[in-house]
Structure 1
Amino acid sequence: MSEAPESPQPQQAPRTVTPGSQASFGTYGGRPVSFVRRGTRLQGRRQAAWEEHAERWAVEVPRHIANTSVHPDYVFDAEAEFGRKAPLIVEIGSGLGDAVCHAAEQNPDTDFLAVEVYTPGLANTLIKINSRGLSNVRVVEANAPEVLATMLPEGSVAELWVFFPDPWHKSRHHKRRLIQPAFAGLAARSLKPGGLWRIATDWSNYAVHVREVLAGSKEFENLHEGERSGEDSPLTQVWESGVESVVGGAPVKEGRAPVSTEHTGPNEGVDELGGWAPRFDGRILTSFENKAHDAGRLIFDLCYRRRDGENLHRRS
Structure 2
Amino acid sequence: MPQQLELGLDTFGDVTVDADGAALPHAQVLRNLVAQGELAERVGLDFLGVGEHHRRDFAVSAPEVVLAAIAARTERIHLGSAVTVLSSDDPVRVFQRFSTLDGLSNGRAEVILGRGSFTESFPLFGYDLSQYEELFDEKLDLFAAVREQEPVTWSGRTRAGLADQSVYPPVEHGLLRAWVGVGGSPESVIRAARYGLPLMLAIIGGEPARFAPLVDLYHRALAQLNQETQPVGVHSPGYVAETDEQALEELWPHYSAMLDRIGRERGWPPTTRAQFEASAGPEGSLYAGSPETVARKIATNARILGISRFDLKYSNGTMPHAKLMSSIELYGTEVAPRVRELLAAS
TM-score past 0.5 threshold: no
**TM norm structure 2:** 0.30
Structure with larger RCO (C-alpha < 8 A, sep 6+): 2
Structure 1 or 2, whichever has the larger Rg, is: 1
**TM norm structure 1:** 0.32
User: Comparing both structures, which one devotes a greater share of its residues to helix?
Assistant: 2
